[in-house]
A and B are shown apart, each in its own frame.
Chain A
Amino acid sequence: DIQMTQSPSSLSASVGERVIITCRASQDLKNHLVWLQQKPGKAPKSLIYGASYLQGGVPPRFSGSGSGTEFTLTISSLQPEDSATYYCQHYNDYPLTFGGGTKVEIK
C-alpha cells in the first residue's frame, strides 16, 4: 500500500499569513493526488485534484503543486473560515489512502 505522510500534523497561523502543508508519498503518484478540507462535524470537501487543479467554487487562495512523491497545499492568505483539518489522498492505485491530516488553527 502507498503510505501518505503529511507535515506538520498541526499548525497555528494568523489571518493573512501564508500556510504551506506538505504531503509525501511512498511511491510515485504522478499527479494523482487530491487535497481535502474537513471542518469539525462536517463531511470532507474536495479542494484540489490532479495535484494542482482547483475544484469549482474553491477560493483561489488555495493552490496545490508537486508531482511524483512530494506535494504541497498552499493557502496564500489564511482566512478565519479556513480553520479545518486538511488531508491529502492519492488515487494512483488501490487501495486509495489518505495522509494523517493537518489541523490548521487561527491564532
Chain B
Amino acid sequence: EVQLVESGGGLVQPGGSLRLSCAASGFTFNDHYMDWVRQAPGKGLEWVGRIRNKPKSYTTEYAASVKGRFTISREDSENSVYLQMSSLKAEDTAVYYCAKAIYDSSAYYHMDVWGKGTTVTVSS
C-alpha cells in the first residue's frame, strides 16, 4: 500500500524555521517527483513546490510565495522528502501535505497520492 506520512509540524514564532519530513513507503520512491501542498485554515489548496528525481538532477520548482524562504530536498536512500521552511510568517500557517507525483501519457507529472498532512502554526 502506498503511504506518505508527514511529520515535523508545530508552533513556531514569526521569523523562525521548521523542517517538515515526509516518509514514503509502498512504491519505488526514487522513480517519482514529490510535491508539497498547503492549506490554510478554512481555505483552499496552494501548491508549495516540487522536487524532481535523480534523472532530472533533483531540480526544484517553487511557488512565488515561498521562493527564497523554503527549500525542498530528498534522500532517496531513506525514502524521504523534506521541506525546510525559514523566515516564517503568520500567513504560512497551514496544514502541509506531501504528495507523490506520477507522469501521464504525455509525460506531464500530476499528484496521485497524498499524505494526511502535518500542521504548522506561525504565531508569537
Report A's interface with B, CB cutoff 8 A: 1, 30-32, 34, 36, 38, 42-46, 49-50, 53, 55, 87, 89, 91-92, 94-101
The stretch that binds A, out of B14-22, B39-47, B76-84, is: B39-47
A45's partner among B47, B108, B114 (CB-CB below 8 A) is B114
Contact of A89 among B45, B50, B105 (CB under 8 A): B45
Q: Does the CB pair A91–B117 fall under 8 Å?
A: no
Q: Which of A42, A46, A94, A99 contacts B111 (CB 8 A)?
A: A46
Give the chain B neighbours of A46 by CB distance below 8 A. Answer: 110-114
Are B45 and A44 touching (Cβ within 8 A)?
yes
Task: List the A residue with the shortest CB-CB distance to B6.
Answer: A43
Residues in B lying within 8 Å of A, measured CB to CB: 35, 37, 44-47, 50, 61-64, 97, 104-106, 108-117
Q: Provide the residues of chain B in CB contact with A43, threshold 8 Å.
A: 97, 114-117
A50 near B104: Cβ-Cβ < 8 Å: yes
Contacts of B44 in A (CB 8 A): 87, 98-101
For the residues of B in contact with A, the DSSP-based class is strand
Contact between chains at B45 and A98 (CB < 8 Å)? yes
Q: Which residues of A contact B97 (CB under 8 A)?
A: 43-44
For the residues of A in contact with B, the DSSP-based class is loop
**Chain A: CB-nearest residue to B105:** A50
- Taking the closest CB of chain B, its distance from the CB of A103, in whole angstroms, is 11
Contact at B47–A98, with CB atoms within 8 Å? yes
The CA of A53 and the CA of B108, in the complex, are separated in Å by 14
Beta-carbon contact of B47 and A97 below 8 Å: yes
CB-CB nearest in chain B for A38: B45
**A61 CA to B124 CA, complexed, in Å:** 47
- In the complex, the answer to whether A49 meets B47 with C-beta atoms within 8 Å is no
Complex interface: chain A residues within 8 A of B112 (CB):
46, 49, 55
Bound CA–CA A95/B60 (angstroms):
12
Residues of chain B within 8 A (CB-CB) of A30 are 106
The 8 closest A-B pairs by CB, nearest first: A96-B47, A98-B45, A91-B110, A43-B114, A94-B61, A50-B104, A95-B63, A49-B110
B4–chain A nearest beta-carbon distance, Å: 9
Which of B35, B109, B111 counts the most chain A CB atoms within 10 A?
A: B111
